[in-house]
Amino acid sequence: MASKAVIKVSDLRKNFAKTKAVQGISFSVAKGSITAFLGPNGAGKTTTLEMLEGLLKPSGGTIEVLGFNPVKKPDEVKRRIGIQLQTANYYQFLRLKELLVLFASFYNRKVDADKLLNIVGLADKKNAYVDQLSGGQKQRFSIVSTLVNDPQIIFLDEPTTGLDPQARRNLWEIIAEIKRQGKTIILTTHYMEEAQYLADKIFIIDKGKIVAQGTTKQLIAQLPNPYRIEITSAKKIKLEKLRALSGVISGTVATNTTGEYEYSLGTKNIHQTLPAVVKYLEKEKIAFEDIAVAPSNLEDVFLTLTGKELRD
Amino acid sequence: MKALWLLFTAILKMTVRNKPALFWMLAFPMIFLLVFGLFNMDKMTVGRVILLDQAQVEESKEIVKAFTEGETFEVIEGIEADDIQGAKQKIIDSEADFAIVIPEEFKNLVQSNANIKEQAAQAQAMMMRGVNYHPPAPVAEPETVSLELYYNEANATMNPVVINVIEQITTKINISIAQTPEIVKLDKQPVTDRRIRYIDFLIPGIVAMSLMQSAIVGIAVFLTEAREKKILKRILATPINRRSYIAAQVMARLAITLLQAIIILAAAYFIYDVKAYGSYWNLSLWALLGTTVFLMIGFIIASFSKTTSAAESLSQVVSIPMLFLSGVFFPTSSLPEWTQKIVDYLPLTPVIDAMRAIAIDGKGFNETLGEFWIVGGWILATFIIASFSFRTARE
């Protein structure tokens, strides 16, 4: 990799009393990039992050964050990073401005609270309590609170979970803006659109292991079925027949709210499969409402790699 | 250093802004203060006394006068001096609160004392004339005479006040009779000036109770909530160390409870004219000592409670028994003896006792050292437990 690695992790492990949460993962993070850990709940994303942040002691492996070992020098690491925890809560009876000044003092720093709040569009809320904010505003505040010490790396643990689509997009813009300021960002998510939109590099993590890594394009290209043909029909079609068509690798069916059937066929060679599908439907005289061709997404990557849906 | 200060002021701000909690922190002791004050002020604090003067000498009449002149006591007349049974019946019928018997032997005591004085005067006169005087063998030390006190044990609110006053009177008399009889006259004055009412007895108890409540509940709930909501985790994700965080907590809580004590004392002063006879500095010092123990208990509770409601109930389990046993509302002497022995070593009891000794009896800090050692022991023990349990508790 051309740019300098700010985080190096090798064979990282964490065992809790009952579970092996992280089972030997290795990776590095390039300076100024956005890295996303994508995986379902309980995959080990948060545990990995907390070990990097110096909040949790690893059971094995080595970590280097900005040249420091977070186990031996947790304060050196904490001083240089910003942390957003998954459940963001702050003291109830302090105003936003007061909270930022207080948190800055924990780093022995002075902070221009108004300027920071302005970045996330909360300047007019500076005298509000956290409890008076909406969900999206709370998340925005919790992100800006990671900036009080002008950190080099920012860790965001599921920053958009539970937000409506508009609030989520708004947050993506903020995260992208923070990246433009030259900061390295590591985030966890179980929204593939989020990883797809933001991340320079994605680690797909499942059961404590990295099962795939790369850019969105690379991950999809690795798939045996990088394209999908989607058919919507009022009439039922035999799925085995569709699967048997030339070039079809995978096939699923679901019913939508209007009672129509929605078929999704995965393929590698679209030139071969699409004519075969159309020909079959004509031959069987099946009227279809809609037929579409789309590239596969991370959801398909995840499904293929782990055999389960991302949002279980 | 700056972080410590900002955290300190932040906790103060949060306490003041949390209106419901603030209300209860002040309203709870105020309700007790007002209710108990109204109930007992006029009726109960005037002790109705029967004086049975069997000695009928000048000195015993002085004692009777001491009770008659002041406003603290109402003297019930019409009982013959030797009718102890009749006096007891009055107490049983709640027509009198207590009876004091000055027995006939009191006359002898005064007499023998006068002899000693006469001999001393003779000796002095002879020495002044230059006569080589050999005093006769000294008369035997004057014997002691017991004043008998009858009172109703059920009258829990009255008794501590009465016993306290009578103890003061009798000490003064003992001292004065053994030295110069004239002093009886002079010394009775402060006794009547310093009327000790139930409310005077109650206020130190209320102050101690409220600082116990707000220290234990305050720290236990605040920390458990911070842990439950992961606020603590967020704070410990910054380079601030645990020690500063805890130091700021302790300092802020000490300031809050001290302020609370001042508000209660001020209210007591303005509403009921309750004044401390000892130093207010010593009272504050005791407020801080008491708060320290209860803060440590709060830390221990916080490290054992998983949820805020668990911390709340555990705080009540610890503080309510002390509230009733440690003599907030009535003296621990009304408890059975074995209970009293245990209760004396609960952390709240010595705090109340010391505060009462300072406020009512005007004692100095040195005279509360016995209580200090008990509380000091508690501080040490709870500090050790708290520092272990709080470290092992996961945030």
Search chain B and give the residue with CA nearest A97.
Answer: B10
A-chain residues within 8 Å CB-CB of B7?
102, 105
pLDDT digits over B192-244, tens only? 345 677 888 889 999 999 999 999 999 999 999 988 888 988 888 899 888 88
Contact A107 B238 (CB under 8 A): yes
Q: Which of B211, B216, B227, B213 has the alpha carbon at shortest distance from B390?
A: B227
Inter-CA distances, B223 with A34, B169, B230, B290, Å = 35, 50, 10, 20
Q: How confident is the model at residue A1 (pLDDT cuts 50, 70, 90)?
A: very low
Give yes or no for B6 touching A (CB within 8 A): yes
pLDDT value of position B134: 58
Q: Which residue has the tokens 């009080």?
A: A148
Relative to beta strand B98-102, strand B73-75 is unpaired
DSSP assignment of B75-130, as one string?
E-----TT-HHHHHHHHHTTS-SEEEEE-THHHHHHHHHHHHHHHHHHHHHHHHTT
Q: What is the amino acid identity at position B213?
A: Q
Averaged pLDDT for residues A122-151: 92
The confidence score (pLDDT) of residue B258 equals 93
| Through-space distance between the first and last CA atoms of chain B, rounded to whole angstroms | 24
In angstroms, the CA A202 to CA A216 distance is 7
Q: Which of A83, A91, A94 sits opposite B237 (nearest CB)?
A: A83
Q: What is the pLDDT of residue B157?
A: 60
Q: What is the dihedral of CA B319, B320, B325, B329, to 10 degrees?
A: 110
A91 CB neighbours in chain B (<8 A) are 10, 14, 226, 231
Task: Kindly list the residues from chain A whose CB atom is less than 8 angstroms away from the CB atom of residue B236.
Answer: 55
Q: Residue B183 — very low, low, confident or very high, per pLDDT cuts 50/70/90?
A: very low
Which one has a higher pLDDT value, B173 or A13? A13
Using the beta-carbon criterion (under 8 Å), do A79 and B2 form an inter-chain contact?
no
Q: Which residues of A touch B19 (CB under 8 A)?
A: none
| pLDDT on residue B40 | 54
Average pLDDT over residues B26-47: 71
Asked if the Cβ–Cβ distance from A78 to B238 is below 8 Å, we say yes
- Supply the ipTM of this predicted assembly: 0.81
Task: Give the dihedral sign, CA B22/B24/B29/B33.
Answer: positive
HEC assignment per residue over chain A: CCCCEEEEEEEEEEECCCCEEEEEEEEEEECCCEEEEECCCCCCHHHHHHHHCCCCCCCEEEEEECCECCCCCHHHHHHHEEEECCCCCCCCCCEHHHHHHHHHHHCCCCCCHHHHHHHCCCHHHCCCEHHHCCHHHHHHHHHHHHHCCCCCEEEEECCCCCCCHHHHHHHHHHHHHHHHCCCEEEEEECCHHHHHHHCCEEEEEECCEEEEEECHHHHHHCCCCCEEEEEEECCCCCHHHHHCCCCEEEEEEEECCCCCEEEEEEECCHHHHHHHHHHHHHHCCCCEEEEEEEECCHHHHHHHHHCCCCCC
Residue A266 CA to residue A295 CA, distance in Å, equals 9
Examine the pLDDT at A2 and tell me if it is beyond 70: no
pLDDT at B171 over 70: no
Q: Which is nearest to A99 in space by CA: A117, A83, A76, A124? A: A117
Average pLDDT, chain B: 80
Most A-contacting residue of B7, B234, B256, B395 (CB-CB within 10 A), to test interface = B234
**How many whole angstroms separate alpha carbon A186 and alpha carbon B61?**
92
Q: Which of A88, A92, A107 faces B239 most closely, judged by CB atoms?
A: A107
Q: Does A256 touch chain B (CB under 8 A)?
A: no
Predicted confidence band at A312 (pLDDT cuts at 50, 70, 90)? very low
Give residue for tokens 């300076």.
A31
